[in-house]
Amino acid sequence: MHFLPVTNNDLRSRGWGCPDIVLVTGDAYVDHPSYGAAVIGRVLEAAGFKVGIIAQPDWRSTDDFRKLGEPRLFFGITAGNLDSMVANYTSTKRPRKKDDFSPGGRAGLRPDRAAIVYANRVREAYSDVPIVIGGIEASLRRFAHYDWWDNTVRRSILVDSRADILVYGMGERQIVEIAQRIEDGRDLDGIRGTMVLRKLSAISPQLSADALQDTEGSSRLSMIDDRLSAFVEIPSYEEVKDDKDRFNEAFRGISLNQDPFSGKTIIQGHGTHYVIQFPPPLPMKPSELDHIYNLPYQKAWHLSYDKEGGVPGFETVRFSIISHRGCCGDCSFCSLSMHQGRIVQSRSKRSIIEEAKALAGKKDFRGTITDIGGPTANLYQASCSRWEGKGACIERSCLVPKVCRNLLPGYEESMDLYKEIMKLPGVRHVFIESGLRYDLLVQDRAAEYLRHICAFHISGQMKVAPEHCVDHVLNIMNKPSFDIYEQFVKRFEEAKRKAGKKLYLVNYFISAHPGATLADALKLSRYLKKRGIHPEQIQDFTPLPLTLSGTIYYTEKDPYTGKRIYVAKTFRERKMHRALVQYNNPKNRHLIREAMKLLQSNKS
């Protein structure tokens, strides 16, 4: 087994004249299923294609983009595991001093708006080669979107990158179909989970014949599924850039059509062209996920990084296992619902056990599997009768204001899985480091699961995310009432007492989220002080594109109700929110005094 080729020598050693596909990524090349470029590369390889990787190219010229030559089929481009602006800047818009996805943790190895920069460099180097963009940056910026770093509404990344097609969400199915179509000389329209840019003659009940009709006159959309011939037009880039109400209208149209079973094709005007998003891909079956995660990953960073001490971000996943994808929590500030989707898709127990066996057999394994999880650890094997053929409910959330009775958490399956892995030779510990949904753990049916993980699978700290303590803020976040969190704390204390373990909660909070005032931050501060909690895990709210919270931040309205919502927008006020939450930090005293004076003056 080998890494995918990264140099001409690698190509020659395999007897290749040129690769079929070259993947360009803003991350260092780590051949592990936690890294998107590695997954896409291995999936394409398994489908019979010759794949090369260019990791973190120097974007100041075209030289690095030429080093593997012109691919036979296309370039695939991703900014990496994070949006490049999130990777490059802190929540206060200052350049980061460290990048965990780069060798040695060095910052500055990827450009701002990496997908756009890379795609345009490729276009400069090879004017006719097809370009496919994907990953989280492309996925969340696929429509006209508010960009917090520029404080403006930007065009779809598909327009600015000049790519031929955009893959959104988890792209394994899409990328193989794209490769097969390009190889066969077929067009790229109608692929679920993709977006294309087309020049349409006019907005009409039927999409332009030139763009969406094949040579026999039948709709390309309806060739995939009859429902795809229907489409939703959302306000254009020009409209949403100038009118926040139209921006909210566009967001509603996008969010209400993200279910793979009920979602329609969406079009949005950009000047004389339209971006066309085809509906999301259908959920993957366990066998499909098993195939993806059982591919021959090296589970290591590329050897060329050894001299720089490797890639820091890999250390957090070196001995971890991904068990599922998707999250039905649908938190307003989170990008998961727009990227991985609300339907939970789980691997089989057999596949995970086989991966655990392979980990236990590695020379550097010391007996501890650090994590078995996904977006939410205690949603492995979660199911709902609707998910099979109808999709997630549009009119309600799975978990808020309370857990839906139709949602069946897979606690028995999870405990059986953990027990089986603990029996493997060489495995001494199986821990859960991924976050857990505490609102699922207050249910009576979760009592045995909570006791079991406290007894055997929490290494000392359990990660949960109450986010705030004020209910009207939690409501905007789409999080449950704070009463639920307090019920969970009691259950946790009881479970750890029965387990006879000294365990602690690591609580994650968000400061300055839309809807939160300084008075709300003070309430949270007083609650934490009363409980003796000194929070280190504070996230300053960052408005991510294509999230509900990001939309509210920009428009200062709920896009579904039109209700006005208070938003802390100045850096000074945002700092005061954080200072109140981290009340015990001496460096925050002057900000706390300023906040208290301001609150007092507001009262008077």
Average pLDDT over residues 214-224: 36
Reduce the DSSP state of residue 383 to 3 states and report it: strand
Adjacent-strand bridge partners of 213 = 219
pLDDT reported for residue 229: 57
Strands 231-234, 145-147: parallel, antiparallel or unpaired by DSSP?
unpaired
H or E stretch at 451: helix 447-456
- Report pLDDT digits (tens) over 109-145: 999 999 999 999 999 999 999 999 999 999 999 999 9
- Report pLDDT digits (tens) over 436-484: 999 999 999 999 999 999 999 999 999 999 999 999 999 999 999 999 9
Asked if pLDDT for residue 202 goes beyond 50, the answer is: no
Percentages helix, strand, coil for the chain (3-state, rounded to 5) are 40, 15, 45
Rounded to an integer, what is the distance from CA 342 to the centroid of its chain?
A: 12
Asked if pLDDT for residue 214 goes beyond 60, the answer is: no
Pick the CATH number of 1-193+285-318 from 3.40.50.2300, 3.40.630.40, 3.40.50.360, 3.40.50.280: 3.40.50.280
Runs of H (alpha helix) within 340-395:
349-360
Please provide the DSSP assignment of 230-264 as one string: -EEEE--HHHHHH-HHHHHHHHHHHHTT-STTTPP
Asked if pLDDT for residue 223 goes beyond 90, the answer is: no
In terms of C-beta density within 10 A (0-12 exposed, 13-18 middle, 19 or more buried), how is residue 460 classed? exposed
Would you list the domain boundaries of the chain?
A: 1-193+285-318
pLDDT reported for residue 396: 86
Can you say whether residue 467 is alpha, beta or left, with left for phi > 0 and alpha for psi between -120 and 50 degrees? left
Asked if pLDDT for residue 225 goes beyond 60, the answer is: no
Rounded-to-integer distance, Cα 437 and Cα 149, Å = 30
- Report pLDDT digits (tens) over 373-429: 999 999 999 999 999 889 999 888 999 999 999 999 999 999 999 999 999 999 999
Angle, nearest 10°, between helix axes 518-531 and 571-581? 20
Rounded-to-integer distance, Cα 446 and Cα 77, Å = 42
Rounded-to-integer distance, Cα 407 and Cα 392, Å = 11
Residues 6+ apart with CB under 8 A from 290: 347, 348, 350, 351
Rounded-to-integer distance, Cα 136 and Cα 118, Å = 15
pLDDT reported for residue 336: 87
- Report pLDDT digits (tens) over 487-501: 999 999 999 999 999
Asked if pLDDT for residue 146 goes beyond 80, the answer is: yes
Average pLDDT over residues 19-28: 98
pLDDT reported for residue 26: 98
Diameter of the chain by CA atoms?
A: 79
Adjacent-strand bridge partners of 53 = 23
Cis previous bond, 401, omega within 30: yes
Please provide the DSSP assignment of 472-540 as one string: HHHHHHT---HHHHHHHHHHHHHHHHHHT---EEEEEEEES-TT--HHHHHHHHHHHHHHT-----EEE
Q: What is the residue type of 157? A: I
Asked if pLDDT for residue 224 goes beyond 50, the answer is: no
- Report pLDDT digits (tens) over 262-307: 999 999 999 999 999 999 999 999 999 999 999 999 999 999 999 9
Comparing 39-43, 208-212, 427-431, 560-564, which segment has the lowest mean pLDDT? Answer: 208-212
**pTM as predicted:** 0.93
pLDDT class of 241 with cuts at 50, 70, 90: very high
pLDDT reported for residue 209: 41
* φ, ψ at 29 (rounded to 5°): -80, 105
The closest of 80, 152, 158 to 120, measured between CA atoms, is 158
pLDDT class of 325 with cuts at 50, 70, 90: very high
Runs of H (alpha helix) within 335-393:
336-339, 349-360
Higher pLDDT, residue 323 or 532? 323
pLDDT reported for residue 604: 66
Residue that has been written with the tokens 């006019």 in this structure:
202
543 token code pair: 């408005």
Reduce the DSSP state of residue 18 to 3 states and report it: coil
Average pLDDT over residues 19-45: 98
pLDDT averaged over every residue in the chain: 93
Q: Quick check: 165 and 188 in contact, CB under 8 A? A: yes
